[in-house]
Amino acid sequence: MNAGCARALCVASMVLASLKLALCAEGGQGDLEALLKRLKQAGPEQRRGAINSLAEIGPEAKRGVRAIAEMLKDPDAEVRCAAALALHHIMPPGFDVFKVLPHLRYSADMPPAEYLSPEDRAKLARATEKANEETAEAAKFAVPALAQALQDSSMYVREYAALALGSCGTHAKGAVPSLVRALRDTVCAVRSRALRTLGQIGPGAQAAVPALIAYVKEEHATEVEPDLMRATAVQALGDIGPAAKDAVPLLLGLLPDKGKPGRRYAVARALGCIGPSDKEVIAALIGALGDRDRMVRGEAARVLGKAQVEKRAVIEALERAAKDEDSYIRGCAEEALWTIRRVSAESEGKDPAKRKSNH
């Protein structure tokens, strides 16, 4: 995905969040203090109702995170579940786009970021920075409480706590040791959510790499869907990125695996995220262009394009893939070739469009 598309999707997601925030903010934000007071009421139903109302306000309820985090110690399991789930909804960075850019409120469509004026883009950048700062501050209270909740007696609280830590993103780095322990939880849903959350933390979860490698290697005979769980662990390694380079030998051994294609796809993607320029990785990905599964072949082509290595073997392999009978594979290969040639042309000070027309 190019930068323009990424920015457009980012703005679109903010608009969707804004619609929800706008609906909740008029009544909910004004009642925030009242809702926080209701958290101290005697009845568990009243406390749960207040938590759910705070969750509906979403990211603009971050001032209430400290109080909600305290509810993870509530004696009522349903209240603790509601608190963990509320933190999942509140912790992601977010803001009302229409408050930042009120002149867009009556527009039929939100324009892509590149079509906004420089002033509007600057306002969005400042709002995004402020939202990230608010998330970082709220995470100081949410992350330790959620990490502790991973040991809750309720399986649902543990699962939702892992989910909420994922919403904290990179700010949940302090919970990595607790998430690694959660990989041994007796409940599959908790283990699965812990795997996904480690990936969402990204490079900050480097300490979990040995545990993730071990998880991929194990048989997991008790798992309902062991291949899916292994693929999730592989995906987490890829999301950690270059910091998970110790996993490359293991992943290279899995790429030609005869197992389910979902795992091979996850391996190809992970190799691309960790470090696609390694000589052994490139050789393995060239081999994956001949995989039986179209999704694996397509991902191998994309990763080779991402590697931006203009080697004869890579170019020839992608040119063969560009003649694949499957239009999806042809598209992936052609895009990869274009990326490699564009980067090469730019480094030589040439026009990539002209270079493309010569091939």
DSSP letter (8 states) at residue 25: I
Are residues 274 and 245 in contact, defined by beta-carbon separation less than 8 angstroms? yes
Please give the Cα distance from 121 to 13 (Å, whole number). 16
The third-level CATH classification (topology) of the domain covering 1-106+113-149 is 1.25.40
Name which of 66-70, 94-98, 257-261, 297-301 the model is least confident about. 257-261
Of 200, 143, 195, 198, the residue nearest 172 (C-alpha): 143
Are residues 255 and 288 in contact, defined by beta-carbon separation less than 8 angstroms? yes
Residue that has been written with the tokens 């893939």 in this structure: 321
Please give the Cα distance from 69 to 52 (Å, whole number). 13
Residue 86's Cα: distance from chain center in Å? Answer: 19
Long-range contacts of 349-357 (CB under 8 A, 24+ apart): none
pLDDT of residue 98: 77
Residue-range domain boundaries for the chain: 1-106+113-149
Name which of 49-63, 270-284, 288-302, 327-341 the model is least confident about. 270-284
pLDDT of residue 109: 61
Are residues 98 and 107 in contact, defined by beta-carbon separation less than 8 angstroms? no
Name the token pair of 198. 């480690």
Task: Tell me the pLDDT of the chain averaged across its residues.
Answer: 84
pLDDT of residue 348: 66
Note the pLDDT tens digit of each residue in 200-239: 999 999 999 999 999 998 866 455 677 888 889 999 999 9
pLDDT of residue 278: 77
pLDDT of residue 16: 43
Q: Band of the pLDDT at 120, cuts 50, 70, 90?
A: confident
- Is the pLDDT confidence value at 10 over 50? no
Q: Could you give the percent of the chain with pLDDT greater than 90?
A: 55
Are residues 164 and 193 in contact, defined by beta-carbon separation less than 8 angstroms? no
Give the count of beta carbons closer than 10 Å to the beta carbon of residue 9: 13
Note the pLDDT tens digit of each residue in 316-349: 999 999 999 999 999 999 999 998 888 777 766 6
CA separation, residue 76 to residues 36, 42, 81, 182 (Å): 17, 11, 9, 22
Name the token pair of 102. 């009120």
